[in-house]
Amino acid sequence: MCDGLDNNCDGIVPPNEFDSDGDGFAPCQGDCNDTDAGIFPGAPELCDGLDNNCDGIIPADELDADGDGYSICQGDCNDNNAAINPAATEICDGIDNNCDGIIPADEMDADGDGFRICQGDCNDNNATVYPGAPELCDGLDNDCDGNIPAGEVDADGDGYFLCDNDCDDNNATIYPGAPELCDGLDNNCDGFTSPDEIDNDGDGFSVCTGDCNDTDAGVYPGAPELCDGLDNDCDGTIPADELDADGDGFSVCQGDCDDANGTIFPGAIELCDGLDNDCDGTIPAAELDADGDGFSACQGDCNDTNDGVFPGAPELCDGLDNDCDGVIPADEVDADGDGFSACQGDCNDTNATVYPGAPELCDGLDNDCDGVIPADEVDADGDGFSVCQGDCDDANGTIFPGASELCDGLDNDCDGVVPANELDADGDGFSACQE
């Protein structure tokens, strides 16, 4: 019997009745491997490639079907492929080669373009990106060659590439549809620069930057004001000194020394107005009223150093043409050259010995013009001689110098001597000339 006893008393217990591995079963009891305590009838199957329960069958999951050294129960997740086992190295095949339950992300074709990351798909979330893909204008490395074509790079970060018509990818303000800025550039890439952005006169400013006259290089914001009657600095104001206020063709900055008077400007004809008409800095002497009488030489003042001489002036007794009519009144002329004229009291301007204050001469004239002829100059007796002329008796017409002596007992010839024959020497009442 299979009881581990020497039933026939031959002194020997059959070997197959011994439980050599102490698992409770002897070979005769069905232990198909009595050297392994894990093998006996009813034993739980272990993942060891053995028939642990001695049912004559090794479970399929303990078999290493693909000979890779691992069975299914040992974690071989595909026992038909020797490249798949827990110790396998992951390869780029989209399979869980190392049986860790995870297919590496780089082996997944997430975007369904036929390529995995490990196969060189440089963006597995975009089906247009994979090795050998045609390059699109999308800013991506579609063919995964490690280079984004220059035309697809948005160098300026404005959202547009050269390949989708960004006409300057180094300037973020330039792209299709961009608002036009005042920068002289084709911001919206329509092939045209707005006219008001073009600096037509080359002064560094366009209309949109404030150039108020883009056909004149001397006109722009901040330009120095020139003497041209223009708003050179574009501040909206033409400087006052550039305006021709009086309409004479010249402004102050052009040398108009009085822009409120149309007769005053450089090169103007000098007028007789006391002004510097030609703006040479000098008023002609003939226009100056040097003597302050209200008239200049050009206004007819015939002596502008004498304020008593001017057109219409009252004539004064000064020997001058006071009223500037070209004539000195006769009574102001010293005809005889004695220093006095008639208006100065010369009572005879044809005789140089007659004038006010002149010394009286024995000439029967009012030499000093006091209105009186001295008595000694008057020929009272009409004999042709006055007292001052030696008439020793101007009451007797027979007595005067050189008169003939008469027998009258008088000094007829005024020689201071009465002839002897006219004397009554004896006092008888008769002289010798009377006898």
Q: CB-hemisphere CA count at 13 Å for 203? A: 23
User: CA–CA distance from 130 to each of 106, 115, 121, 303, 396 (Å)?
Assistant: 13, 6, 4, 114, 173
The single-letter DSSP state of residue 207 is: G
Instruction: Give backbone dihedrals phi and psi of 162, rounded to 5 degrees, phi first.
Output: -60, -40
Separation CA 390–CA 265 (nearest Å): 81
Q: Provide the token pair at 148.
A: 């984004």
Question: Residue 114: which residues within 8 A CB-CB, separation 6 or more?
Answer: 130
| DSSP code per residue over 388-434 | GGT-S-TT-TT-STTPPP-SSSS-TT-SS---GGGS-TTSSS--GGG
> Are 423 and 412 spatial neighbours (Cβ–Cβ below 8 Å)?
no
% of the chain at pLDDT higher than 90: 79
What pTM was computed for the model?
Answer: 0.48
Q: What's the rounded Cα separation, in Å, for the pair 158 and 153?
A: 11
CA–CA separation, 397 and 408 (whole Å): 13
User: Is-contact 287 264, C-beta < 8 A?
Assistant: no
The answer to whether 291 touches 307, Cβ cutoff 8 Å, is yes
203-231 per-position pLDDT tens digit: 999 999 999 999 999 999 999 999 999 99
pLDDT tens digits, 152-204: 988 999 999 999 999 999 999 999 999 999 998 999 999 999 999 999 999 99
Q: Please state, in angstroms and rounded to a whole number, the distance separating the CA atoms of residues 211 and 195.
A: 12
Exposed / middle / buried, residue 195 (Cβ in 10 Å: 0-12, 13-18, 19+): exposed
Residue type for position 260:
A
DSSP 269: P
What does the DSSP 8-state code read for residue 285? G
Q: pLDDT tens digits, residue range 79-135?
A: 899 999 999 999 998 899 999 999 998 889 999 999 999 999 999 999 999 999 999
Q: Return the sign of the alpha-carbon dihedral for residues 244, 248, 249, 252.
A: negative
pLDDT of 44 > 90? The answer is: yes
Contact by Cβ (8 Å): 121, 144 = yes
Burial (0-12, 13-18, 19+ Cβ within 10 Å), 202 = exposed
Cα dihedral 29, 32, 35, 36, rounded to 10, equals: -100
Long-range contacts, stretch 355-363, CB < 8 angstroms, 24+ apart: 362/386, 362/388, 362/389
Q: What is the rounded distance in angstroms from the CA atom of residue 55 to the CA atom of residue 319?
A: 177
Distance from C-alpha of 417 to C-alpha of 405, rounded to nearest angstrom: 10
What are 126-155's pLDDT values in tens digits? Answer: 999 999 999 999 989 999 999 999 899 889
